[in-house]
Each structure stands twice: as structure tokens, then as C-alpha cells.
Structure 1
Amino acid sequence: MHIVIIGVGGVGGYFGGKISNSGQKVSLIARGKHLQAIQKNGLHIKSIDGDFVANPFKATDSIDDVEKADLVLICTKSWQVIEAAKLIKPILHKDTIVIPLQNGADNAEKILSVLDHKHVLGGLCKIYSKIEAPGIVSHFGHQPEIVFGELDSSETSRLHLVKKVFDDAGLSSVISQDINADIWKKFMFIATVSGLGALSRATIGEMYHNARLNEILKQTAQEMYKIAIAKQVNLPESIVENIMHFIGKQPYDSTASTQRDIMEGRPSELENFNGFIVKEGERLGILTPVNTFIYSCLQPAEAKARLAKN
């Protein structure tokens, strides 16, 4: 199979590097100094599980240089998903599978606004990773895992074709029986800690062990749960308690990538996290005061970051 990775940051770099390092045919779509370093020296992965250097079949910034793909992993930020879906149209054949792996609750829906449903699976990943320097991706926490499945929860043969790609790369992966619920479980965790972490400038451990911040984390997640239920996502009543327990098990000094982006003045996924909950609450007639407060406080800094980038 020919696997194409769109976005070679912490997520796309790690998973694309692992798949390429297993001898499979991988093309990376990257840009700038990061791309130049990969083209010159390969993609260096620094991992708590062992370092390695991947030499992909191709690394380029032009989709015109890429052969037809059997599997596309979209690993951009959430706000770039629609653009990425438009970008890959020329490399799709009738059976190409497309899986979004970034954070967010509605990435599959965004792709479906551009591509035919026959191409799209739902997906998510679990990993702490980042670009450390051009050509170098650092995996510094969590046992990496990919979860994916059909959006209608059906069992299909192509799911096992995709799983073989991950298995052959030595990656932990799970075929989900309800990928929409699994996406929301991941979303509730990452969006809960990201916004409040950026606002408080505290690590996940500091927030969890501070009684008042712990309560705000819980209230943030409870509002997200109400939105999910209104959208008919199949989540258990215990989900908020489960999320809080999961937050408590994270490394004390860990922070989410969106929190780091906001704190360092870069464009972030704020709109796709707390902003998404606020907008869905308005659409559905559900009050989201905690998410609204977090989003409103962070939005001016987000606007400045995006203005500076442009």
C-alpha cells in the first residue's frame, strides 16, 4: 500500500515515521525548514520507546509530486482539515481510505463536506509528541495508539487492511465499534485540559490537584457531555467521572499542544475546542457558561496570533 501523511508535525511525523521505518511505502507532505531537513537527513524520531531515523519514499510540499494513495492520514491541525481534504483530491482513487487523526470532535464531518463518504473513516490518536527542531520529532509521553472505525459502526474488510498497515509498523491500533463515541471521549479530555491549561498557565497535574481548578475542569467536561448527548453521541453517564480519572493519571508536568500553542503565541485549536462547544451550545440552546468564559478570555490572544501569522 501507498500511505500518504498530510502534516508532519508531532502526530504525522511520529506515525508516518514508524510506518516508513517498517519498510512500507510512505509519502510525507511537509513544508519549510522541516521538509528541507527531512529531505536532506531523513526524519529523526526521538522516542521514549527508542530513537530511529526514517527515510520515506518521498517527502515533498507539492501534491503534484505524489502518486495515487491507498491510505491517507490527515494529521494537520483541526482548522486545516477542510483545506487538506481539498488538497488530496488529485491523489485519490476509487478505494482510497482517508482518516483524520487530529484533535477535535467534527473532523470527519469536515472531510465529508469535501470528499465522498466512501473514502472516509473516523479516527483519533493518543500520543504526546511535538516537532523539537526541523527534521526532528519528539515522542515524550503516552503509549502511542491509533483508534479508527467506520462512521456508521459497521464492520468492513477495509478496516483490517488499515490495521495491517499499523500492525506491520509495530503500532498499537484498535478498530472501534463506535468511533463517534471514542472521538468524543478523546475530545472531552483534550479540550477540557487545553483551554483551562492555557488560561491558568498550569500543567495538567497542577490543575487536577488544585481543588478549585479541579472543579472547573469537571464543569467544563460536564458542559461538553451535555452537548454530546444532544448530538446523540452514545456516551455513558459516567463519562465525566472517567475523564477526570484519566486526567488524574497524566504526567504531572504534562501540557496539551493547544495550551502550548496559545502560551507561545501561535495559532491554536481553540476555535475547534472550547469555541466549538460554545457555538454548538448556542445552536442547540444549551448553556455553556464555563466553556464560554474560557473561550472568551482566550479568543483575543488567538485572534492576535492568527493576525501575526498572516
Structure 2
Amino acid sequence: MHTVIIGVGGVGGYFGGKISDSGQKVTLVARGEHLEVIKKNGLQVKSINGDFVTHPFHATDQIGTTEKADIVLICTKSWQVAEAAKLIKPILKEDTVIIPLQNGADNAEKVCSVVETKYVLGGLCKIYSKIEAPGIISHFGHQPEVVFGELDKSETERLQKVKKVFDKAGFNNAISKDIEVDIWSKFMFITAVSGIGALTRATIGEVYENPETHRILEQTATEIYNIGIAKGVSLPEDIVSRILAFIGKQPYDSTASMQRDIMEGRPSELDNFNGFIVKEGAKLGVLTPVNTFIYSCLQPMETKARK
């Protein structure tokens, strides 16, 4: 099985690195100095579960130069998904499986807008990780896990083939019976902590324990729940309280990647998180005042970063 990783940041670097380190065939699609260091020294992963260095089968910034893929993991930022899907067309076989793993509620839809739906599984990951330096990935929180499933909730043989690759790599993974619900649950968590975290510059623990910011977390999550229900997602009635409890169990000093991007002046996933909820609310006639406030306050910084 040949796995191609599109985007070798915290997510793609960790999970692609683990698959490669288990002796499986992996191509890493990266760029710039990050790519050059990987080619020269291999990919170094510093992890709370143990450090390792792996030398993948292939590392390149030219997708067309690699062999056709059995599995493609798209690990870019949310706003880059559609472009990544266009680039992978030359490496698709009849039975290639594509799994987008970035945060966001509509990444599978973005991929399906570019390639045939038959290739696409829904997916998400749970991990705190980042690029520490060119060629070096730092995994610093959460037991890494990938959750994936068929968009139509069916049970297929290809799910077991993907699971076999992930099992051999040695990281937690699970086949979802309703990947849409799982994606929206993760989306609720990451959007709630990202927006208020970026505004306050506070850690997840600080935001959670302060009564006022805790209330904003709950309001943000409730609006996301209302949008999900309006879109027909089968979210459980107690999902907001469950997500808040989950937030309370996160490492006290942790921060979300969107928050870090905004604080460091980089383009972020603001439009794909709080902005997505605001836009869907406008389409569906669902009020989203808290997400609108957060989105509006962060937009000037996002605009500046994209210039």
C-alpha cells in the first residue's frame, strides 16, 4: 500500500511519519526548506510517546513525480483543500482512497467538488502538533487518533484496508458509523476554543476556568449545534455539554492551531471555523451572534496576514 501525504505540517508530519516509520511505503509532499531537510536528514518527529527519525520512500514538491496512490491523506489547512484535491488527480487509481484530515466541517464536500465522490472518505484527527523547525515535527499533546468512515455510513472492505495501514503504523484509529456527526463534534470543539482563544490570547485551560469566557465557549458551541441541526446533521442533544466537558480535560496550557496562526501573524482557518458558521447561519436563517462577534473582531488580523 502506497500512502501519499499532502501537507507535512503537524498533522501530516506526525501521521505520515508514523506510517513511514512502520516500514510502509509513504510519499511526503512538502515544500521549501522543510522539504530539503527531509530529503537530506529524514523527517524527525519529537513526540511525548517517543522520538523517531524516518526516511520516507519519496519526498517531493511535485505530486506528478510520485507513483499512484492507494491512500491519500490531505493534511493541508482547510482553505487549501480544494486546490490540493486538484493536484492529486494524476496519482489517482480506480480504487484510491482520499481522506481529508484537517479541521473544518465541509472538507469532504470540498474534495468531492473536485474529484469523484467514490474516492472520498470522511475523516478527522485528534492531536496537538506543529512544525518545530524545518524537517522537525513536535507532537506535544493528546493521544493521536484518526477517525474515518464512509460518507453514506456504509460498511465497506476498503475501510478495513485503511485501518490495516493505520494499525501497522501504531496510532489509535477508529472506523466511524456516522462520520458526519464525528466531524461536526470535532468542529464544535476546535471552533469554540480557537475563536475565543485567538481573541483573548489565553490558553484553553484559562478560557475554560474563567466564568465569562466559559459562558462564551458554551454559546459558541450552541450556535454550532443549531447550524448542524439545521443542516440535517444527527448531533445528539447533549453534545454541547459533552464538548464542554472534553474542553475541560485538555492540557491547561494548550492552544489551538488557528489561535497560534493568528497570534503569529499567519493566515488562519478563521473563515473555515467561525466564519463558516456565520455564513451558514445567514443562508439558513439561524442567528449566530457570538460567532459573528468573534469572526468580526478577528477579521482585521486575518486580512492583514493574507496581505
Gaps of 5+ in 2: none
- Alpha-carbon distance between aligned partners in 1 of 2:216 and 2:114, rounded to the nearest angstrom: 37
**Residue in 1 that maps onto 2:75:** 75
Give a deviation string over 1:119-156, Cα, whole Å, max 9, x none: 00000000000000000000000000000000000000
- Alpha-carbon distance between aligned partners in 1 of 2:73 and 2:63, rounded to the nearest angstrom: 14
**Residue in 1 that maps onto 2:208:** 208
Shift of 1:28: 0.4
**Residue in 1 that maps onto 2:224:** 224
The yes-or-no answer on 1:295 pairing with 2:295 is: yes
**Residue in 2 that maps onto 1:151:** 151
Name the SS for the 1:148 alignment partner: strand
Name the SS for the 1:202 alignment partner: coil
**Residue in 2 that maps onto 1:87:** 87
TM-score scaled by length of structure 2: 1.00
Name the SS for the 1:233 alignment partner: coil
- Alpha-carbon distance between aligned partners in 1 of 2:216 and 2:18, rounded to the nearest angstrom: 38
- Alpha-carbon distance between aligned partners in 1 of 2:139 and 2:120, rounded to the nearest angstrom: 27
Give a deviation string over 1:206-243, Cα, whole Å, max 9, x none: 00000000000100000000000001101111000001
- Alpha-carbon distance between aligned partners in 1 of 2:109 and 2:81, rounded to the nearest angstrom: 10
Number of matched residues?
Answer: 307
AA matched with 1:129: S
- Alpha-carbon distance between aligned partners in 2 of 1:252 and 1:2, rounded to the nearest angstrom: 38
Shift of 1:27: 0.2
Name the SS for the 2:170 alignment partner: coil
Name the SS for the 1:130 alignment partner: strand
**Residue in 2 that maps onto 1:179:** 179
Gaps of 5+ in 1: none
- Alpha-carbon distance between aligned partners in 1 of 2:141 and 2:213, rounded to the nearest angstrom: 23
**Residue in 2 that maps onto 1:112:** 112
**Residue in 1 that maps onto 2:197:** 197
AA matched with 2:216: I
AA matched with 1:305: A
AA matched with 2:165: V
Name the SS for the 1:191 alignment partner: helix
AA matched with 2:92: L
- Alpha-carbon distance between aligned partners in 2 of 1:71 and 1:197, rounded to the nearest angstrom: 34
TM-score scaled by length of structure 1: 0.99
AA matched with 1:13: G
**Residue in 2 that maps onto 1:258:** 258
Shift of 1:63: 1.1
Shift of 1:291: 0.1
Name the SS for the 1:36 alignment partner: helix
**Residue in 2 that maps onto 1:39:** 39
**Residue in 1 that maps onto 2:65:** 65
Shift of 1:64: 1.9
Name the SS for the 1:98 alignment partner: strand
Name the SS for the 1:3 alignment partner: strand
- Alpha-carbon distance between aligned partners in 2 of 1:251 and 1:20, rounded to the nearest angstrom: 28
Shift of 1:40: 0.5
**Residue in 2 that maps onto 1:52:** 52
Name the SS for the 1:86 alignment partner: helix
**Residue in 2 that maps onto 1:168:** 168
Pairing of 1:4-43 with structure 2 (within 5 A): 4-43=4-43
Give a deviation string over 1:249-277, Cα, whole Å, max 9, x none: 01111000000000100000000000000
Give a deviation string over 1:97-139, Cα, whole Å, max 9, x none: 0000000000000000001011000000000000000000000
**Residue in 1 that maps onto 2:274:** 274
Question: How well do the aligned residues superpose, as a CA RMSD in angstroms?
Answer: 0.4
- Alpha-carbon distance between aligned partners in 2 of 1:163 and 1:6, rounded to the nearest angstrom: 19
- Alpha-carbon distance between aligned partners in 1 of 2:47 and 2:248, rounded to the nearest angstrom: 23
AA matched with 1:275: G
AA matched with 1:11: V
